[in-house]
Amino acid sequence: MELWPDAYPKMVGIIADWHLEQSENFMMSLLINRQDDIAKLYIQHYLHEVNDSSLMVFALRNNNETFMKHALKESLFGMQFLSEPTVVAEMLYLLSTRAKTDFILNTMLFANFAQWSQTDCGEFIGYMEEMANFSHFDNRIVLTYNPILTICLACETLTRIGDSIAFFKHDGITINESLLALGNSVVSGMKQSSIKAIFMDEDFKDRAVLNIIVVNGYAELMSDPKVIQLLDELWGGTLTYACDGKLQNFSMLSFVAGAPLKKLPGQSL
């Protein structure tokens, strides 16, 4: 890899296409060497290695986010793995370290909390309560690359746990209120130049932060004038010569002006 940095992906691909039966776990070897993109390409050849919760535990521990996102989105991991005691214990342990909160919350998007024990759900809620009650300068969210996405995912997860286990419903609502207040404080301290990247960032399900906020009604995260300015920019769109083809660059006003007129049923023009 060090001698031929440009050639090794092709060489590894050729080896993967051989479908060799071997004692070594090929997928794990790729993940150890941080070759998430190559692992994504050839995971279909090694589904027998993916069908093992130990690989999920390793990917969580090794911070293989790109691989995990792909495997979870494509349902290549058995979803029951996210309810297995070893996997749940690993996720809760990583949350206790405060180092991978955003990664774990993204992974939990695919979890079925009705299959979790009340003890494990209670431990998770304890970590979220800790995050809600710390000022953002001393908070675990300063260790995340996108604190607003982290807060949104935390609120969603607490709501899903409350929907699955009624015992935790009230705790989820209370902690969510505190998390959204914390989020409002974080946004108020951000520079305008950072707002668009933060709010257009996406989770493991390819949902933009702004979309998560709107769908869930997290109004507290949209009250700052900097966010309102972003909304105005998204509504107005980008000038034609500056548009790079991304969805957020297209103007809603232009769409409304140029969309074909449709008559409502039973109405006359």
Encode pLDDT of 64-82 as tens digits.
999 899 889 888 776 688 9
Instruction: Clarify whether residues 37 and 95 are in a common domain.
Output: no
Neighbour count for residue 151 (Cβ, 10 Å)? 34
Amino acid at 29: S
Instruction: Clarify whether residues 23 and 62 are in a common domain.
Output: yes
Instruction: Clarify whether residues 109 and 217 are in a common domain.
Output: yes
Instruction: Clarify whether residues 32 and 94 are in a common domain.
Output: no
Instruction: Clarify whether residues 70 and 132 are in a common domain.
Output: no
Total count of domains within the chain? 2
The model's pLDDT over 233-252, given as tens digits with 9 standing for 90+, comes to 877 665 544 555 554 454 55
Instruction: Clarify whether residues 69 and 186 are in a common domain.
Output: no
For the chain, the straight-line distance linking the first and the last C-alpha, in angstroms and rounded, comes to 68
Instruction: Clarify whether residues 165 and 199 are in a common domain.
Output: yes
Instruction: Clarify whether residues 214 and 90 are in a common domain.
Output: yes
Within-domain flag for 21 = yes
- Residue 269: which pLDDT band, with cuts at 50, 70 and 90? low
Q: Of 54, 80, 106, which residue is a domain's last?
A: 80
Non-local (6+) Cβ contacts of 210 within 8 A are: 199, 200, 230, 234
For residues 166 and 157, give the distance between their C-alpha atoms in angstroms, rounded to a whole number.
Answer: 14
Instruction: Clarify whether residues 139 and 152 are in a common domain.
Output: yes
Instruction: Clarify whether residues 103 and 69 are in a common domain.
Output: no
pLDDT of 234 reads 78
Q: Of 182, 203, 223, which residue is a domain's last?
A: 223
Q: Which domain holds residue 51?
A: 1-80
Beta bridge mates, 202:
208
For residues 13 and 40, give the distance between their C-alpha atoms in angstroms, rounded to a whole number.
Answer: 11
Per-residue pLDDT, averaged over 178-187, amounts to: 93
Within-domain flag for 164 = yes
Instruction: Clarify whether residues 111 and 63 are in a common domain.
Output: no
Q: Which of 101-115, 183-197, 243-257 has the lowest mean pLDDT?
A: 243-257
Instruction: Clarify whether residues 107 and 192 are in a common domain.
Output: yes
> For residues 102 and 71, is the Cβ–Cβ distance under 8 A?
no
Non-local (6+) Cβ contacts of 209 within 8 A are: 146, 148, 149, 152, 198, 199, 200, 201, 202, 203
pLDDT of 76 reads 77
